Structure 1
C-alpha cells in the first residue's frame, strides 16, 4: 500500500494548468486571471456628486446658517448621465443628482436636506467646506493602474471592477470540464424505484455536484454496464468533451470490475491500494492524445466522496490555476473517543460545534461504514487521523478538513503550516512533493 500523500503528490505532479484563453466577462465567472489587468480609464471618470443637492462654490455658503441662511439662484438641473459641460458662476448654484458630473467652478455639494429644496432659488441653511460630497476623478482607480493581479479568481466583485475600468473580456484559465461516469449493472437512474438487486445511482449526481461546488463544469454519464467493451466505448466518447474524467465503481478486486480491466490496458492509469479509510482502492492516470486525467474512485458512496475531496478536488483546483487547497484543515477537540485502523489515514465524518468561549469540538456523525449515506449528509467535515494513531480519546486534538471546500466552524484555527500539535497534514506534504504547477 502507498500513503495518501504519495498518491496525491503523483496526481498533482501530473495534472496541468489549462492553456489561457480570452473570454468575455459574462463567460469568465469563476476563472482565474492569466495576466495582470490594468485600468483603461480613471474611476470615477469625472468629478461627480455623492449626494442629491446643490453644486456650489464653498466660499459662497460658508456663512450659511440659522437665523441667516444663504439664498442663491438655481441655474438649472444636472442629472446622472448628463454629458453637457457646464460652468458654475460665483454666487449661483446648480441642482445636482447623485452621480451627475460636477460643473466646472463648483468645489462642493450641499445636500438637499440642508436646504429648502428650491427649484428656481434655493435657501441654504448650512454651509459645506471645500470638497465636501464630491467624488474626484481617479479617486478610486487611476488610468493605467493594475486593478487585478494574475492569479485572481473572478467573482462578482472582480468582474464588476473589470467592467468598470473598460474591459469587456479577459485572458483567463478556462474552467476544467469534468465528466463523471458511473459503472455497474445494478445501477438505475434517480427517480426510479429499485427492484431486487438494483441500486439507485447516487454517486453520479453526488460527484457531479461536488465538482460544480468547486466552480468547474460538470456532467455525468450514468448506468454504464460492467462490460469491458461498453466501458471502453464510453470512456473514448467522453474524451472529446472532457478535461478530466472521474469514474466511480469497478476498481476493486472483483471478477466484474470492468473499469479496472479496461484502463489497465489503456493510457497510463495505475491502480493502487492507498492506506486510507475509507477509500483504499484508487486509480489515476491519463488517457488519449491529450493526456486527459482519469480518476477511478470506489463504488461505495462514502468512499467515493472522501476520495473526491482528498484527491480529485485538489487536482481540479490546480488545473483551474488555483491552489490545490484553498482552505487548510482546522484544529478541533474530540468530544468522544473512537478507534482508527493501524497504518491507515482515517477520514472520519464528524459534526463540528463551536462557541465564543471554546475551541471547535467534533463528534462522529453517526455510522462510519463506507456505505452509510445518512451520516455523510449530516457531516460538516472529515477528521483526519494519522496512520500511527489507533485511538482518538476525548479531548484529543484532531485536524478537520471541511467538506464542499468550506472551513468548518466560525472560530476555527487553521493549520496553515501543515501541522498542528505535531500532527502532519497529508495535503501540505503532497503539495510540497508535487512542486509548482506548470
Structure 2
C-alpha cells in the first residue's frame, strides 16, 4: 500500500467535521435570558421581540427652528425660488405678515392655539401649537419679533413632525435574536423603553495546560514553550462577543487540573482548554477529563477530519455540567479549532444566529494542494472584484498556519475530497471580518 493510500485509509476513520459539529451543537441551548437596563444591553442579543410602548415622536412637534403657522395664512406668500427685496414689492410677489404671539422652546408644555393671522416662534423639538400645520424656516422670513414677514410659502406639513410619524405604538422595533447596537439603544430609549430582555454574553474561561509552558516575555527554548494560545484564544473569545477570562497556565498535575477546572465552573458558561488533547505520555488533560467520574462530568475526545488539528474535545465539567471545549496545543491548530468549534458554541450560547461565519464563493488566484480525506481551513486574503464577486489569495498553511492567520482576512475551505484546487476555480471562503 502506498503512503497516499495509507493516509486516505487513516482519514476514512475520522469523523467528518459537519457530523461532529452537529453532534456538539445539538447538545447546547442558549443561556437563560436576563432583564437588563438599557445602558447595559448593548452587545447582547435580544431574547424576544421588542415592541414600542409609545409612539415616537410622542407629540406633534417642530422639526426645525422657525415660525409655526397655518398654511392657509401663507398661501399668498411668494413662491419658493423667488427672491423679493425687503420693502420693495412692486412688480413682484408680496410677503405675508403674521403677528408673532409667543415663543415656544423644546421645554414648553402648556398647550397653545393659533388664530388666523398669527404664528409662534418655535425651536426644533418644541410642541406644535394647535392648528399649526407648517413651520417656516427662519431664513425664509425677515426674522422680526413682533410681526414677521414670510417671503415664501412652504408646502403644507413642511417642518413638522407628527406624533408616531417615525415609530407607531405597538410597532416591532427589533426581533428576537437581533444584536443590540448603539442606534438600537437610542431607538428603544426614544420609544420609552428602559429595560430589555437579552441573552447574556457568555462568560468564557481560557486555560492552557502543559508542564512545558512558560508565560510570555521570553523566547522558547528546549523544554519550554511560550504560552501563546491562552492569550490568543481569550482575544478570539472577546471578538466573538464573550466575556473572556484568561486563567493562564496549568501544569500536568491530574488533581490540580481537575480542581482548577471545577473551580472555574462557578464563574464560567464555557471553559476552553488548549493542549493535552493527544495520546502522548504528556497529554494529561485527555486522561483526566475523559475519566467517567459520577457528578464530575466527562469530555469525549474525537479524531475529526480537520486540518490543521485533528483531535477535538467536548463535554462537561463539574456538578453544574459547564460545557468545555478542548483544543490542540499547536497555536495555528488551536485558532482553527476555535473558529470551527468554540466560536459556534459561543454564538449558540449567546442566542445568535447564524452561529457560523459568513461564507462566500471566490475565484482562486493560485493553485493549492490539500491532504485527502481532511477538510482543510487555510489562511487567505479575500478581496472584492470591481465587477462583483471575490478573489482569494492563499496564505501560508500547514506548519505555518499561525503566521498565515496573522495576515488573513478569510479562511479558504477545501473539502475532504479535494487534493488539488486549481487557480481559476471557485472555492468557499469564510470571512474573518474581525468583528461580531
Aligned to 2:382: 352
Counterpart among 76, 80, 87 of residue 113 in structure 2: 87
Once the two structures are TM-superposed, the CA of residue 193 in structure 1 deviates from its matched residue by 5.2
Is 1:283–1:296's contact at 8 Å kept on the other side of the alignment?
yes
Q: Give the counterpart of 2:352 among 305, 316, 322.
A: 322
Shift in Å at residue 324 of structure 1?
A: 4.1
* Map 1:31-430 → 2, pairs under 5 A: 31-65=44-78, 66=84, 67=89, 68-192=94-218, 194=220, 197-266=223-292, 267-325=297-355, 327-357=357-387, 359-365=389-395, 367-370=396-399, 372-403=401-432
Aligned mates of 1:151, 1:279 — CA distance in 2: 32
Deviation at 1:312, TM superposition (A): 1.1
Tell me by how many angstroms 1:39 deviates.
Answer: 1.6
SS of 1:122's equivalent?
strand
Does structure 2 conserve the Cα–Cα contact (< 8 Å) formed by 1:315 and 1:324?
A: no
TM-superposed CA distance for 1:225, in Å, is 1.2
Deviations 1:241-278 (A, max 9, x none): 00000001111122111211210115231011111110
Give the Cα separation in 2 of the matches to 1:144 and 1:326: 33
Counterpart secondary structure, 1:14: coil
Other structure's SS at 1:389 match:
coil
- Which consecutive unaligned segments of at least 5 residues does structure 1 have? 408-438
| Contact 1:213/1:404 (8 A) holds in 2 | no
Match of 1:45, SS state, is coil
Shift of 1:41: 1.2
Q: Which residue of 2 aligns with 1:435?
A: none
Report the alpha carbon displacement of residue 380 of structure 1 after superposing the two structures with TM. Answer: 1.4
Of 326-335 and 343-352, deviating more is 326-335
Is 1:22 the counterpart of 2:22? The answer is: no
Question: 2:411–2:429: 8 Å Cα contact kept in structure 1?
Answer: yes
> Which protein is bigger by CA-based radius of gyration?
2
For the Cα contact (< 8 Å) 1:181–1:221, is it kept in 2? yes
Task: Decide whether the 8 Å contact of 2:385 with 2:391 is kept in 1.
Answer: no
CA offset digits 1:19-56 (Å, max 9, x no partner): 12211112222222222222221110011111111001
Q: Does the CA-based 8 Å contact 1:300-1:370 persist in structure 2?
A: no
CA shift for structure 1 position 317: 0.8
Closer/same/farther in 2, CA of residues 326 and 373 from structure 1, 3 Å limit: closer
Distance 1:361 1:169 in 2: 44
Distance 2:100 2:339 in 1: 65
When residues 82 and 326 of structure 1 are mapped into structure 2, their CA distance, relative to the original with a 3 A threshold, is farther
| 1:352, distance to aligned residue in structure 2 (A) | 1.5
Number of residues of Structure 1 aligned to a counterpart in Structure 2:
406
Q: CA RMSD in A?
A: 1.8
* TM-score for both structures, normalised by structure 2: 0.89
The 1:192/1:88 distance shift into structure 2, 3 A limit, reads: farther
Question: Shift in Å at residue 190 of structure 1?
Answer: 3.0
Change over 3 Å in CA distance of 1:254–1:277 after alignment to 2:
same
Partner of 1:419: none
Residue 144 to residue 406, structure 1, CA distance change in 2 (3 Å): closer
TM-score by length of 1: 0.88
Question: Contact conserved, 1:351 with 1:362, CA < 8 A, in 2?
Answer: yes
